[in-house]
């Protein structure tokens, strides 16, 4: 009873309907229709709900249909998505879309949108992570995954032969111009090389490595 009363008190619509019913019983159908614009059939329906559920029956009920449209997926599409996710479990719906479009066009099947592909993956639970954590799933535990201790060097290496090279890059800004000073030093041979480059990218890294090889081989 307390729960029904709370639901009634929290609904202004239910309180208004209760007031209309009281007005109808006190002044009749014609006066209630002129004052509130509610006919007798609707008032009877509210009274039946109130008789079966109490005052909480006057609260507005959910308008959700009892039978909703179910998502239909072609069996060939579902098997293709399952096989694709098993082979490439990190492949998302955005990258699956062009592959699935090509497969559907080849087999004369309807085209699926990117959002629907995501819903299919979620509905049929097409997740095949291998020894990785599934986020947003608190019931998941690590399976057979042991934490490996990372090996760290406590002291600088002391090589006994030539060829052990240490490389570093230093950024410098002079008069508003930025350049990167690539430096390399052979620890044992005390041979050093420093070259400036306008950018720190893979092309300059490769060029600097070639210069080191030319210097040490000469």
pLDDT category of residue 89 using cuts at 50, 70 and 90: confident
User: In the chain, what percentage of residues exceed pLDDT 70?
Assistant: 86
pTM, two decimal places: 0.38
- Structural contact between residues 56 and 14, judged by C-beta atoms closer than 8 angstroms: yes
Residue that has been written with the tokens 């509610």 in this structure: 38
In sequence order, the 6+-apart residues with CB closer than 8 A to the CB of 128 are: 85, 86, 89
Say which residue the tokens 């600088």 belong to: 156
Query: How would you list the strands of the sheet with 191-197, edge to edge?
Result: 165-174, 177-186, 191-197
Q: 67 pLDDT band (50/70/90 cuts)?
A: confident
Helix or strand run (H / E) with residue 186 = strand 177-186
Distance CA 106, CA 100 (A): 10
Structure confidence at residue 136 (pLDDT) = 47
* Residue 127 or 55, more confident: 127
């Amino acid at each position: 009873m307390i729960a029904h009363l709370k639901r009634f008190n929290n609904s202004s619509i239910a309180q208004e309907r209760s007031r209309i019913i009281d007005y109808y019983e006190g002044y009749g159908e014609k006066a209630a229709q002129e004052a509130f614009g509610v006919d007798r059939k609707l008032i009877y329906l509210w009274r039946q709900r109130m008789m079966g559920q109490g005052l909480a029956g006057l609260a507005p009920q959910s308008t959700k249909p009892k039978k909703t449209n179910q998502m239909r997926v072609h069996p060939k599409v579902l098997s293709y998505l399952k096989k694709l996710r098993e082979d490439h479990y990190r492949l998302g719906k955005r990258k699956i879309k062009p592959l699935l479009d090509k497969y559907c066009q080849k087999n004369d099947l309807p085209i699926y949108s990117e959002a629907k592909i995501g819903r299919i993956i979620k509905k049929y639970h097409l997740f095949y992570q291998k020894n990785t954590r599934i986020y947003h799933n608190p019931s998941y535990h690590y399976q057979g995954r042991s934490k490996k201790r990372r090996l760290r060097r406590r002291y600088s290496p002391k090589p006994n032969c030539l060829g052990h090279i240490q490389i570093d890059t230093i950024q410098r800004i002079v008069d508003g111009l930025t350049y990167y000073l690539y430096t390399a030093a052979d620890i044992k041979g005390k041979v050093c090389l420093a070259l400036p480059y306008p950018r720190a990218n893979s092309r300059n890294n490769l060029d600097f490595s070639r210069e080191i090889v030319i210097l040490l081989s000469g």
